[in-house]
């Protein structure tokens, strides 16, 4: 499996990229905040014990929590 992000970025994604609907990207997801400039995943911030998330790539394949914006 091709991992299109740095290893240390993984925690910034709600779940493994590529586990969501085919041909959908984080940029298409309602949880992706600021997909143009500084994309982050709002779903991660909602997890217990997490208040903010790190940068993601808006072009990453969607994860299982994907919801169409
Ligand atoms: S598909 Fe949505 S929920 Fe999953 S990591 Fe990307 S922005 Fe977050």
Question: Hey, what CATH topology would domain 1-69 get?
Answer: High-Potential Iron-Sulfur Protein; Chain A (4.10.490)
| Tally of residues, the chain | 69
Residue 11 has a pLDDT of 80
Tell the residue number behind the tokens 């400039």, with chain if given.
Answer: 37
Residue 5 has a pLDDT of 59
Higher pLDDT, 26 or 2: 26
Closest CA relative to residue 31, chosen from 20, 22, 7, 1? 20
Q: How far is 25 from 66, CA to CA, in rounded Å?
A: 9
Residue 32 has a pLDDT of 95
Residue 3 has a pLDDT of 58
Is the CB of residue 10 below 6 angstroms from any atom belonging to ligand 1?
A: no
**Strand partners of residue 61:** 25
pTM: 0.83
Average pLDDT over every residue of 15-44: 94
Is the CB of residue 57 below 6 angstroms from any atom belonging to ligand 1?
A: no
Nearest-CA residue for ligand 1 atom 8 is 41
Q: What percent of the chain has pLDDT over 70?
A: 87
């Amino acid at each position: 499996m091709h991992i299109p992000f740095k290893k240390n970025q993984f925690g910034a994604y709600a779940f493994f990229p590529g586990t969501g609907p085919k041909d959908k990207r984080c940029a298409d997801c309602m949880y992706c905040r600021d997909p143009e400039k500084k994309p982050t995943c709002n779903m991660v911030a909602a997890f217990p014990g997490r208040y903010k998330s790190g940068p993601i790539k808006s072009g990453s394949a969607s994860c299982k929590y994907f919801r169409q914006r």
